[in-house]
A and B are shown apart, each in its own frame.
Chain A
Amino acid sequence: MTETVIQTSNLFTPTILIPLLPLLGFIINGLFGKKLGHASGWIATTMLLASFACSLFLFFHLPAGGSETVVLSNWFYFKDIFIPFAFLIDPLTITMLLVVTGIGSLIHLYSIGYMHDDEGFSRFFTYLNLFVFFMLILVMGNNYLMMFIGWEGVGLCSYLLIGFWFKNQAYNDAAKKAFIMNRIGDLGFLVGMFMMLFHFKTLNYDQVAIGALNLGIGNITIVGITLALFIGAMGKSAQLPLYTWLPDAMAGPTPVSALIHAATMVTAGIYMIARSNILYSLAPHTLDVILIVGTATTIFAAIIGLLQNDIKKVLAYSTVSQLGLMFAALGMGAFESGMFHVVTHAFFKALLFLGAGSVIHALSGEQDMRRMGGLGKYIKITFATFLIGTVAISGIPPFAGFFSKDEILATAFEHNKIIWGLLSFSSMLTAFYMFRLLYLTFSTSFRGTDEVKHHIHESPMVMTLPLMILAVCSIVVGFIGLPPVLSHTHSFKNYLSSVFAQSKTIMPAGHEMSHSMEWILIGTAVGLALLSIAFAHNKYVMQKQTPVEDEQLSGLSKVVANKFYVDEIYNAVFVKPIMLLSDLFLVIIDKLIIDLLVHAVAFITSQVGRLLRLFQSGHLGFYMFAMVISMIILLAVQIFVVI
C-alpha cells in the first residue's frame, strides 16, 4: 500500500471547515474566554452554525449515492501501514454531520441562556466546542484510527463536562466513572483495530471491508474484530454491562446531557457499527450478540426508569433504553432503521433534556419530581414542547418516534416473534414512564416549597427558541421515513442506500410484509402505548398519586428504585478487590517480599563483615601468625593440589 496522495476536490474547503470551525472556537474561547465574557457563547454558537451551513452545503452538493475522500496529510506510518488524516464524506457521514451540527447549534444557543449566570461560562463553551470538534472527527474520519481519535476525544470532553462543576466531588466521581467505563470499551476498540491491522494491514473503512469480504461470512477473524469493536460500542453507547456511567453522567449541566449523553456522543457506537456494516453483516454471530445485548438493555433500563424520581435520571434511563432499541435494530441487520432511530431520537431526546433543563431552571435547580407538579400553568412553552417530545418518544403517530420505532418493531416481527414481544413491551414501558414524568412534572398542583414556587418563571427566548425548533423537528422529521403502507419511497433509506448496498447483498433480505399485517402491528404498538398512557393518566392525574419517599420503599420496588444494585455489585466485585489487591501488592509483595530479599542481601553482607572483623584482633603476633599460616596453606595447595 502506498502513501495516500493528497487530493483536492471542490468539497475540500467545506469539508475541512466543518471540524476546523469548532476547533477555532475552542482555541479562541480557550485562550481569551475570560476576557470575552458572554461573547464567548455567541462565538461558539456562530462557529457551530457555520459548521452546520457547511454540512448543508455538503448535503446538497454531494452527488446522490456518491462519496468523497478528503486527505489532509499522512498522520503516521510504520512498516507498510499508513494512517492518514483523512475525511470520508458519504450519506452516512452527512446524516451524522447534520444531526451533530444542527442539534449542536441549538443546544449551544440554549446554553447561552442556561449557563448565563455560571462563573465558568466561557469554559463551558470551550469544552462544548472541543466536544463538537471531536464528535465531527469521529463521524468524518475515513479510517478507524480517526474514529478512535474522536472516540477518545469525546470521552475526554464528556469527562470534562460531567465534572464541569468540579468543586463537587460527587460530580467528579461521576466524570471519572464515565471516563473509565469508556476506557474499558476503548480497549475493545483498540484490540479490534489491532486485529484489523494484523489481518488487513489497513484501517481504512473501504479497504478493511474489501479484506473482510475476501475472508467470507462467519470467519472467526471477522467475528473477533466485530465483537471487539462492539465492546467499544458498549462502553460508548452505554449498553449492558457498561451502562452505569450514563445515569451518573447527569451530574453535568443539562445542555451537556442533551448534547453528549442523549443526542450525539452516545450514538457513536451505533454509528460505528453502521459504518462497519459490511464487517458486521459478515459476522452473523456478532449480530446475534448485539441483538441480545440491545434487547436486554432496552428492557432492563426501561424497568429501572419506571421508578426513578430524578427528572434527569428518568431521561437518562430512557436514553439507555432507546439506545438498546437501536442496537437491537442493528443486531437484526436493519442498519438504516437503527440510524433512522438515531436521527429521530436525537431530536426528541434533545428536546426532552432541554425541556427538563428549562424546568430545572424554572425551579431554581430542583430535580426531584416529587417536589414538582402543576408546572404546566406557569411555563407554558416548556410544557407544550415537552409534551410534543413525550408523545414523540412514546411512539404516537404522526410524531417522529413512531415511524422509527415502528420500523424496528416491524423488522423484529419478521426476525423473531419473541424479540418483537420484548421490544413492544419495552416501548410500552417507555410510554408509561415518560407520561409519568410528564404528569408528575406538569399536572396537578405544585408540591414544592413556596420559596421555589415564588421564583417559577418561563425561560428566556434563547432557551425557548431551540425548544420550539426541536419540537417542530420532532413532529416532522419522521416523515423522511414513512412505512411501506403509507408510501412507496422511504427517503431516508434511499439516501443511505449506497452505504448499505453491499451488506444487503450479503444478508438475505426479508420478504415484503403484507400490508394488513403491518397495519396490525402499527395498531398493536399504538394501542399498547395509549393503554400505558391511560394507565399513567389514571394513576398520576386522576388519583393524584406521587411516588413515595425513598425510605418507604420495600420489596421489589426498592430493588428497582435502587437500579438493581448494579453499582453496588460492581463496586463489590471490581472496585473493592482491585483496591485490596493494590494494598496487598504494595504491603505484602513490594514492601515485604521484594524489599525483604533486597535488604537480606545487604544484611547478609554486613553480617559477614561483622564476623570477619573478629579476625582483626589488633595483635601483631596474631596477624603474623595468620600470614604465615595462609602462606603455608597456599604453598600446600600449590604443591599438593593439581590445578
Chain B
Amino acid sequence: MENSIQSVPQNWYLLLSTFMFCIGVMGVLLRRNAIIILMCIELMLNAVNLLLVSYSSYAGNAEGQVFVFFIMVVAAAEVAVGLALLVSIYRNVASTDIDILNRMKW
C-alpha cells in the first residue's frame, strides 16, 4: 500500500490538491448556486484530505490519516446541515441563488 501511494512523486500530489483547492475556492467565489458552492467546499476539503493522506504516507506517520477521518465525518455532518438549510431556504424563496439571500445582517 505504501508503495502504491509513494509510486507517485510527492510534488504531484501537492500540485493536484492545489488545483483542486483552487477550483473549490473559485467555485465558492464565482458560482451563485448554493448547491454548487456546497459541492465546492467539499472539493476543498477533499483536496486537503488528499494532501494529508499522501504526506502521512511519506512521513510514515498515521496521524494525518486520522485527521482525514475526522474531516470526512465533519464534512458529512456539514453537508447534512447545509443541505437541510438549503431545502428550507428553497421552500421559502423558491431559489438557491445566493444573491437572493441578501438579508444576512443584524
In the complex, the chain B residue whose C-beta lies closest to that of A621 is B98
The answer to whether A617 touches B28, judged by C-beta atoms less than 8 angstroms apart, is no
A620 within 8 A of B: yes
In the complex, the chain A residue whose C-beta lies closest to that of B41 is A624
One of B29, B37, B105 near A617 (C-beta < 8 A)? B105
In the complex, the chain A residue whose C-beta lies closest to that of B25 is A628
A623 within 8 A of B: yes
The answer to whether B28 touches A623, judged by C-beta atoms less than 8 angstroms apart, is no
CB B62 to nearest CB in A, in angstroms, measures 27
The answer to whether A618 touches B103, judged by C-beta atoms less than 8 angstroms apart, is yes
One of A616, A618, A628 near B29 (C-beta < 8 A)? A628
B12 within 8 A of A: no
Count of residues in A whose CB is under 8 Å from the partner chain: 11
A628 proximity list for chain B (CB < 8 A): 25, 28-29
The answer to whether A616 touches B101, judged by C-beta atoms less than 8 angstroms apart, is no
One of A613, A616, A624 near B28 (C-beta < 8 A)? A624
CB A622 to nearest CB in B, in angstroms, measures 9
B106 proximity list for chain A (CB < 8 A): 613, 616
A519 within 8 A of B: no
B99 proximity list for chain A (CB < 8 A): 619, 621
B104 proximity list for chain A (CB < 8 A): 618-620, 623
One of B29, B102, B103, B105 near A624 (C-beta < 8 A)? B29
A625 within 8 A of B: yes
B37 proximity list for chain A (CB < 8 A): 624
The answer to whether B29 touches A625, judged by C-beta atoms less than 8 angstroms apart, is yes
Residues facing B in A42-82 (CB within 8 A) are none
In the complex, the chain A residue whose C-beta lies closest to that of B32 is A621
How many Å lie between the Cα of A616 and that of B28 in the bound state? 19
B25 proximity list for chain A (CB < 8 A): 628
Residues facing B in A619-641 (CB within 8 A) are 619-621, 623-625, 628
The answer to whether B102 touches A619, judged by C-beta atoms less than 8 angstroms apart, is yes
One of A613, A618, A625 near B102 (C-beta < 8 A)? A618
How many Å lie between the Cα of A617 and that of B103 in the bound state? 8
Chain B contact-residue range equals: 10 to 19
How many Å lie between the Cα of A618 and that of B106 in the bound state? 9
How many Å lie between the Cα of A565 and that of B103 in the bound state? 78
In the complex, the chain B residue whose C-beta lies closest to that of A631 is B25
B98 proximity list for chain A (CB < 8 A): 619-621
A623 proximity list for chain B (CB < 8 A): 104
| Chain B 5-28 per-residue mask, 1 if CB under 8 angstroms from chain A, else 0 | 000000000000000000001001
| Chain B 80-106 per-residue mask, 1 if CB under 8 angstroms from chain A, else 0 | 000000000000000000110111111
CB B32 to nearest CB in A, in angstroms, measures 7
Find the residue from A613, A616, A619, A625 having the highest chain B CB count within 10 A: A619
One of A618, A621, A625 near B105 (C-beta < 8 A)? A618
A624 proximity list for chain B (CB < 8 A): 28-29, 37
In the complex, the chain B residue whose C-beta lies closest to that of A622 is B102
How many Å lie between the Cα of A620 and that of B99 in the bound state? 7
Residues facing A in B27-84 (CB within 8 A) are 28-29, 32, 37
In the complex, the chain B residue whose C-beta lies closest to that of A627 is B28
A625 proximity list for chain B (CB < 8 A): 29
How many Å lie between the Cα of A215 and that of B105 in the bound state? 82
How many Å lie between the Cα of A618 and that of B101 in the bound state? 7
B105 proximity list for chain A (CB < 8 A): 616-618
How many Å lie between the Cα of A16 and that of B99 in the bound state? 97
CB B21 to nearest CB in A, in angstroms, measures 11
How many Å lie between the Cα of A620 and that of B97 in the bound state? 10
CB B69 to nearest CB in A, in angstroms, measures 24
How many Å lie between the Cα of A628 and that of B37 in the bound state? 13
CB A631 to nearest CB in B, in angstroms, measures 9
Residues facing B in A327-355 (CB within 8 A) are none
How many Å lie between the Cα of A625 and that of B106 in the bound state? 19
CB B25 to nearest CB in A, in angstroms, measures 6
B102 proximity list for chain A (CB < 8 A): 617-620
In the complex, the chain A residue whose C-beta lies closest to that of B106 is A616
Find the residue from A617, A621, A623 having the highest chain B CB count within 10 A: A621
In the complex, the chain A residue whose C-beta lies closest to that of B28 is A624
How many Å lie between the Cα of A624 and that of B102 in the bound state? 13
CB A620 to nearest CB in B, in angstroms, measures 4
CB A623 to nearest CB in B, in angstroms, measures 7
Question: What would be 15 A-B contacts, judged by CB atoms less than 8 Å apart?
Answer: A613-B106, A616-B106, A617-B102, A618-B104, A618-B105, A619-B98, A619-B102, A620-B102, A620-B104, A621-B29, A621-B98, A624-B28, A624-B29, A624-B37, A628-B29
A-B pairs, top 6 by smallest CB distance, nearest first, are A618-B105, A620-B98, A616-B105, A618-B102, A618-B104, A620-B101
| Contacts A613-B106, A620-B98, A624-B28 supplied; 16 other A-B pairs, CB < 8 Å | A616-B105, A616-B106, A618-B104, A618-B105, A619-B98, A619-B99, A619-B102, A619-B104, A620-B104, A621-B32, A621-B99, A623-B104, A624-B29, A624-B37, A628-B28, A628-B29
